[in-house]
Amino acid sequence: MPSPRRLIAGLATATVLALALAGCSANASTPGSGSSSETGKPVTGGSLVYLEHQAITGLYPPGAGFYPNGGIVNNIADRLVYQDPKTLEFEPWIATKWESNADATEYTFTIRDGVTFSDGTPLDAAVVAKNFDLYGLGDAARGLTVSEAINNYQSSEVVDKNTVKFHFSAPSPGFLQATSTINSGLLSSKTLDLPFEKFGPGNAANIIGSGPFTVDNEKIGTGLDLVARKDYKWAPKSWSNQGRPYLDKIQITVTPEASVRVGALLSGQAGLIRDVEAQDEKQVTDAGFQVYAAQTNGVNNGLSLRFRNEKLSDIRVRQALIAGIDREELVKTIYTKNYPLATSVLSKTALGYVDTKDAFAYDPKKAATLLDEAGWKLGSNGIREKDGQPLTLVVNEAAPQPRSFDALTLVSQQLKKIGVDLQILKADAGTYAKAIQDANQVQIYHSMVGRADLDVIKSQFYSKNRNTLLNRDNADQSIGDPKLEELLQAVASTADPKARIEASQTVQKYLADQAYVIPFFEEPQVFATANFVHGFSSESVGRPSFDAVWVDKQ
Amino acid sequence: MKYVLGRLGQAAAVLLAAFTVAFVLLQAMPGDALMIKFENPELGLSPDQIAALRVAYGADTPLPIQYVHSLLGFLGGDFGYSIQSGTPVKQLLAEVVPGTLLLASLGFVAAVLLAVGITILANLPGLRRIADVFRALPSLFVAVPVFWLGIVLIQVFSFQLRLIPVVNPGPVEGLILPVLTLAVPISAPLAQILIRSVDDVLGYPFVAVVRARGAGPWWILSKNVARNAVLPAFTMAGVLFGELIGGAVVTETVFGRAGVGRLTEQAVSQQDTPILLAVVLLSATVFVVINLVVDLLYPVLDPRLGARKRGIARISRERKVVAV
Amino acid sequence: MSVNERETRASSLPDPFVPIRRSLRERIGRPKVSVVLSVVWLLIVIAWAIIPQAFTPLDPIAGNAAQAQQPPSLEHLFGTDATGRDMFTRVVYGSINSLSGALIAVSVGFVIGTAIGVIAGSSRRILDDILMRIVDVFLAIPSLLLSLSIIILLGFGTAQAAIAVGFTSVAAFARLSRSEVVRVRGSDYVEAAFASGGRFPVVLWRHVLPNSLTAVLALAALQFGTAVLSISTLGFLGYGAPPPTPEWGLMIAEGRNYIATAWWLTTLPGAVVVLVVLAANRVSAAIAAKGRIS
């Protein structure tokens, strides 16, 4: 006869499994390697295992905004100028000097002598001109897009072997910074002739730059190696390493599961990991490992309230949403101290930042009053209604952003208390791509953008860039708030540096006054390193720089 | 011979139908690959720029022409390029297929071994007291989510006990945990069939006769388990192969391996039609071929069926498959 | 079947190649404790689905952020999640979604699959071949691709995921029901029914179907457990139910990121699923055993 033992046996096995699992959490052990202080003498040689979250999708520099792409481009391609990630000041890199005319429609760069691409060809003014002709104008026939960072580009002019001049159809004050971003990584002439397909996965080793590393041993979807260029000697002056990279090799391995990345680091299988989730930081530091949070110096992680939607067209409703969200509770519950509470639409470390935190204060009573005044009355189910319509709003889950889903879940709990029903859109890429372009489907847009230039605010909100507010309606191309357009244009086309900063501050204040945005926090890129790894740093939007990284001989 | 030709014709029809169904399914999805690729706000492209790119990619070609075009391409061995990354589909497949084949076949072999092991343990006279534990194992095996199993195995064997690395492991080390993860859920139905058929056989009176003549329980068991294991395992191979590819996606994601499963999942999410059509064609071919082979070899493997009509052989095969 | 039973069966020696029929007493037998336990457990879970508020006073959607990520305690049996929601409450309220999801999945596979199988099994060679090759097409397209495409077409949600999962089991149901119908059709009493002038549909309905369905029902019970897991796997791949609906599969999938820091988030809902699947399998085995006796 079948006995109860069969079921009990099953139960017992399940319990054992569960206990084994509980055991895992109980003792996060310390690593075997001896730790050393950051001040030791750098060692040349050795290799590092770096765990990435996702595989690369292509190494065309204007498309390097996708994090894994940018992480490679930053290390294989040099830029004309270098932007210090801390001070955000510029210094010479491939260009030894630069100047622009008063209205920022003409830039002249002097190119350093003796720089070569990794295929041996020289990096001269002609190839620099070819780079920016492509990044500034794009080539639709080859499927190659324009760089988002470059505005009003017209043409290039090779003055002599070491001098190149760029012409713009309108003032382009952000161009100097644009030349420092990963989107402007300098590639060899041959590489620039490639069609889009050849920038894709499987061909990474053929993307030739002049950077400290080259790509080798690519395995599509699972990773690649960065190999040091032994003859690299044109690092920016402020880099601690002026010669060849200390490491011989960096093995980049794609490891999609967050728990596996952390576990691999703690058990000594990797030296560096990206995308440490907030809840795992403690586990890392408790085990004596370092967490490295790189600020991204741009538009903060937050919500754009799409005011052209009928429900959000009333400023009182938007103000109520702001007052109904307890941002401090959000940051405290979901994130860590590496995610500072936002005090403006821009990060404190971004250029042109101005404090507007008073506009984002938490005040649920005020929120309720505002909604009452706006005619949204509490319905029987706790959700407010007007003309029989419930106050239901949809926000997108921002998959690339850290813990977007958890954050929005908490926000929807908070808004429920003031009678607002916030739904989170989770959909396949096709449906998602359509829905976020339509304010009737997605009224609130969750996003951020990192770029250490005043232009960043224009990138986020301008109708012809990311257009996160959907100020330009996709259906009829009409503009809802021409004043916002004008203010954003001013940031991108004011030549005078001081006036440009003021223009950015005007936009920040305007966005806060109009209750167009709810910034959450200043988004970092969070890495963790093992104790034997030293000298890790990142560029101005958090892409890793491996040139000065070294490891203890073990 | 006529039978073989008929089967071949049917197989070709199945292939064409699978290709067509997949094409229609993919076209019916909301949005398309170009939209997902270029209308991503993170690229910050203006509407005019997007429109120019769409024209460059030939997005305005009518569907029937696209269908004929890709069908002819496939017939000529040209699988096209991934829309998302631009990499030739052939290259993508060449990169992942060997790994998946290895993982799937080892997983399958491990599953058969596991199932045979459980069956033997569940029937060993010396282990009668705990036989029910082994009998409960298959149910437990199907009840555990694969991704959970994979993560737990990594946590325990790689991170706590530090026996096997998961990051850049050697070729053999790198297969142990994924193969186990893949094998466990597949072994469950196999073990269930085996335990049941051994029970049935041991219930036959002739066993008592054999026993009465002095055969040990080991002899009976090994003879029977061996004979009963081969057929269902062989039969299931055809059906399970598609499952293995599907099941592999989870294993591949957890262990960070490149494979057909992950390629498929990513291509679906980006609606990368050329990749998906190639995957469908590949898996349909494998399915059709395995089934053809199973059909043709069935009488050879099961002498009892050799004498009977083939129609019955097929019925019996299908019964065995679904008895899972 | 236990060892004792086998020995009893092996000790008597009638016709050597026919399994012994069990006696009537054996057929009804003592109530099997494991089956009873399984049924009781399934009833509890069904009760969760119907009257969740009777099992927990808390709200599955509104959390208390101050109590985020608490380990299991008397107050929170299964602990709390990242936004302070009570996990036990979410599991209880999630049962309606998970069970109805599994039910939809099984129904889709059962209805479509059995329909195809029965028609194929009771038709002539050509229609039979055509139908079974259609089933082959279903099997030839990787089930992963099939289910993901269906979800994308139908939109995200538990019901949609369930339909997708159901579709992938159509082939199994079709093949099983077809072979059962063919088997029963060839049996003596069906021949007899035809011989005594029964019309085909009548014979099919009165004699063939009832005798074919036990095996199919057993498969359905088995699929029930598999469906819960498949929905969970879809959640793992990011194709789960829309938030904030509590659903078991999605809870396990999303809790996995906390496996080293908050083990209860994935383990306890996982344990509930394991128990439900075990119970469903036990019931399935019982149905199958009954089928073999009668």
Q: Which is more confidently placed, B241 or A116?
A: A116
Residue of chain A nearest B82, judged by CA positions = A197
pLDDT at B127 over 80: no
User: Is residue C5, in this structure, part of any structural domain at all?
Assistant: no
Q: Which of A31-40, A198-207, B1-10, C145-154 has the highest mean predicted lDDT (pLDDT)?
A: A198-207
DSSP helix, strand, coil percent of chain A (3-state; round to 5): 30, 25, 45
pLDDT tens-digit map of B269-292: 888 888 988 988 888 888 788 777
| B312 touching C (Cβ < 8 Å) | no
Residue C25, in any domain of the structure: no
Residues of A (175-204) whose Cβ lies below 8 Å from B: 195-203
Per the structure, the count of domains in chain C is 1
Shortest CA distance from B142: residue in chain C: C226
**What is the per-residue pLDDT for B170?**
82
Tell me: the pLDDT tens digits for A355-406? 999 999 999 999 999 999 999 999 988 999 999 999 999 999 998 899 998 8
Residue B241 has pLDDT above 80, yes or no: no
Compare all CA atoms of chain A with the CA of B153 and give the residue at the minimum distance: A21
**C68 belongs to a structural domain:** no
What is the CB-side half-sphere exposure of residue A221 using CA atoms within 13 A?
A: 24
Whether C155 sits inside 8 A of A3 (CB atoms) is no
In a domain? residue C163: yes
Pair A518, A321: CB distance under 8 Å: yes
Give the neighbours of chain C: at least 3 Cβ pairs within 8 Å: A, B
Which candidate, B299, B10, B13, B235, places its Cα nearest to that of C125? B10
Poorest-pLDDT segment among A447-456, C270-279, C285-294: C285-294
Q: What is the pLDDT of residue A553?
A: 64
Find the mean pLDDT for residues A4-8.
44
Range from A197-206, A503-512, B52-61 that averages highest in pLDDT? A503-512
Is the Cβ of B319 closer than 8 Å to some Cβ of chain C? yes
Q: Determine, for residues B53 and A256 on separate chains, whether the beta-carbon distance falls below 8 Å.
A: no
Q: What is the pLDDT of residues A20-59, one digit of tens each?
A: 444 443 333 333 333 334 557 899 999 999 999 888 988 9
The whole-number pLDDT of residue C215 equals 76
Interface contact flag, C261 A18, Cβ < 8 Å? no
**Segment 124-183 of chain B within 8 Å of chain A by CB:** 130, 132-133, 135-137, 139-140, 143-144, 151-152, 154-156, 158-160, 162, 165-168
Q: How far is CA C13 from CA A145, A510, B201, C19, in A?
A: 82, 94, 14, 10
From chain A, the residues in CB contact with C38 under 8 A are: 7
B243 pLDDT band (50/70/90 cuts)? low
* Identity of the residue in C9, C145, C273 whose CB atom sits nearest the CB atom of B268: C145
Query: In this complex, is the C-beta atom of C155 within 8 Å of any C-beta atom belonging to chain A?
Result: yes
Task: State yes or no: cis peptide before C244, omega within 30 of 0.
Answer: yes
Name the neighbours of B, counting chains with at least 3 Cβ pairs within 8 A.
Answer: A, C
Helix, strand, or coil here: A524? strand
Smallest Cβ–Cβ distance between C37 and the set A7, A280, A410 belongs to A7
Residue B132 pLDDT grade (very low, low, confident, very high; cuts 50, 70, 90): confident
Examine the pLDDT at B314 and tell me if it is beyond 50: no
pLDDT at B230: 62
As a whole number, mean pLDDT of residues A323-334 equals 95
Query: Where is average pLDDT lowest: A124-128, B46-50, C79-83, C153-157?
Result: B46-50
Range list of H helices, chain B: 2-27, 33-38, 47-56, 63-75, 89-123, 131-143, 146-153, 173-203, 205-212, 217-255, 260-269, 273-301, 303-306, 310-322
- CA A292 to CA A277: how far, in whole Å? 12
DSSP A294-313: EE--SEEEEEEE-TTSTGGG
Q: Is residue C72 part of a domain?
A: no
Cβ(A517)–Cβ(A299) below 8 Å: no
Retrieve residue B268's tokens: 């679906």
Do C243 and A428 count as a contact with CB atoms less than 8 A apart? no
Shortest CA gap A496–chain B (Å) = 25
User: Does residue C17 lie in a domain region?
Assistant: no
Task: Find chain B residues with C-beta within 8 A of A259's C-beta.
Answer: 151, 155
d(CA A133, CA A129): 6
Give tens-digit pLDDT for A216-254. 999 888 899 999 999 999 999 999 999 999 999 999 999
pLDDT, residue A248, reads 96
Three-state secondary structure string covering C170-189: HHHHHHHHHHHHHHHHCCHH
Q: How many angstroms separate the first and last alpha carbons of chain C?
A: 16
CB distance B160–A430 less than 8 Å? Answer: no
pLDDT of C84 > 50? The answer is yes
Position A252 scores a pLDDT of 96
Token readout for A228 is 């040091």
Is the pLDDT assigned to residue B228 strictly greater than 80? no
Q: Of the candidates B211, B236, B213, B234, which has an alpha carbon nearest to the alpha carbon of residue B221?
A: B211
Burial track A207-234 (b if 16+ CB lie within 10 A, e otherwise): bbbbbbbbbeebbbbbbbbbbbbeebeb
CA–CA gap between residue C228 and residue A105 (Å, rounded): 62
- For the CA atoms of B32, B38, B41, B44, the dihedral, rounded to the nearest 10 degrees, stands at -160
Q: Are A352 and A454 in contact (CB under 8 A)?
A: yes
* Opening angle at CA C190, ends C187 and C193, nearest 5: 150
pLDDT in tens, B164-189: 888 888 888 889 999 999 888 888 87
**pTM for the model:** 0.84
User: Are A22 and C267 in contact (CB < 8 Å)?
Assistant: yes
Per-residue pLDDT, averaged over A128-145, amounts to: 92
Identify which has the larger pLDDT, C290 or C268: C268
**Cβ(A534)–Cβ(A39) below 8 Å:** no
**% chain A with pLDDT above 70:** 93
DSSP C60: S
Question: Does residue C146 lie within any of the structural domains?
Answer: yes
More confident of the two residues C223 and A519: A519
Contact across the interface for B288 and C140, Cβ inside 8 Å = yes
Distance from CA of A384 to the nearest CA of B (A): 32
Residues 98-127 of B with CB under 8 A from C: none
Interface test with B, best of A148, A267, A436, A442 (most B CBs within 10 A): A267
List the beta bridge partners of residue A291: A528
Q: Which of residues 332-361 of A touch B (CB under 8 A)?
A: none
pLDDT band for B235, please (50, 70, 90 cuts).
Answer: low
Among A506, A497, A404, A521, which residue's Cα sits nearest to residue A458?
Answer: A506
Taking CA atoms, what residue in B is nearest to C217? B323
**Nearest by CB: B151 against C17, C134, C256:** C256
Subunits adjacent to chain A (3 or more Cβ pairs under 8 Å): B, C
B27 contact A CB<8A? no
Residues of C in contact with A283 (CB under 8 A): 260-261
B194 touches chain C (CB under 8 A): no
Nearest to C175 among B21, B288, B321 (CB): B321
pLDDT tens figures, A416-440: 999 999 999 888 888 888 899 899 9
Domains of chain B: 89-323 (1.10.3720.10)
Asked if the Cβ–Cβ distance from A466 to B55 is below 8 Å, we say: no
The pLDDT-based confidence of A327 (bands split at 50, 70, 90) is very high
Q: Which of A175-184, A316-325, A469-478, B94-103 has the lowest mean pLDDT?
A: B94-103
Q: What is the pLDDT of residues C24-34, one digit of tens each?
A: 444 445 557 88
Alpha-carbon Rg for chain B, nearest whole angstrom, is 24
User: Looking at chain A, which residue has its C-alpha nearest residue B33?
Assistant: A430
A284-302 in b/e form (b: 16+ CB < 10 A) is beebebbbbbbbbbbbbbb
Average pLDDT for residues B15-35, to the nearest whole number?
Answer: 85
Distance from CA of C140 to the nearest CA of B (A): 4
CATH number, domain containing residue C116: 1.10.3720.10
Count Cα atoms within 13 angstroms, Cβ side, for C153. 14
Q: Using one digit for the tens of pLDDT, what is the confidence trace for A257-314?
A: 888 999 999 999 999 999 999 989 999 999 999 999 998 889 999 999 999 999 999 9
Mean pLDDT of chain A: 90
Which of A9-13, B148-152, C178-182 bottoms out in mean pLDDT, i.e. has the lowest? A9-13
Confidence at residue C173, expressed as pLDDT on a 0 to 100 scale: 87
The dihedral built from the CA positions of residue A48, A54, A59 and A62, taken in this order, carries a sign that is negative
C148 to B280: CB separation less than 8 angstroms, yes or no: no
Strand order in the sheet with A384-386: A377-378, A384-386, A389-390
Q: Cβ contacts of residue C177 below 8 Å, gap of 6+?
A: C113, C114, C116, C117, C118, C121, C212, C213, C216
Residue A501: which of A454, A540, A449 has the closest Cα? A454
ipTM of the complex: 0.78
Q: Provide the H-helix boundaries in A359-496.
A: 364-373, 404-417, 429-435, 456-461, 482-493
Classify residue C56: in a domain, yes or no.
Answer: no
The set of residues, in sequence order, having a beta carbon less than 8 Å from that of A358 and lying 6+ positions away, is none
- How close are the terminal C-alpha atoms of chain A, in Å? 61
Q: What is the mean pLDDT of residues C99-126?
A: 89
Distance of CA B188 to the CA centre of its chain: 15
Which of B35, B318, B320, B324 should we substitute to test contact with C (largest number of C Cβ atoms within 10 Å)?
B318
Across the interface, whether the CB atoms of A23 and B57 are under 8 A apart is answered no
Query: Given an 8 Å threshold on Cβ–Cβ distance, is C256 in contact with B28?
Result: no
Query: How far A434 CA sits from the closest chain B CA (Å)?
Result: 7
Which residues of chain B make contact with C274, given a CB cutoff of 8 A? 140, 143-144
Range of the domain at C172: 32-50+86-293
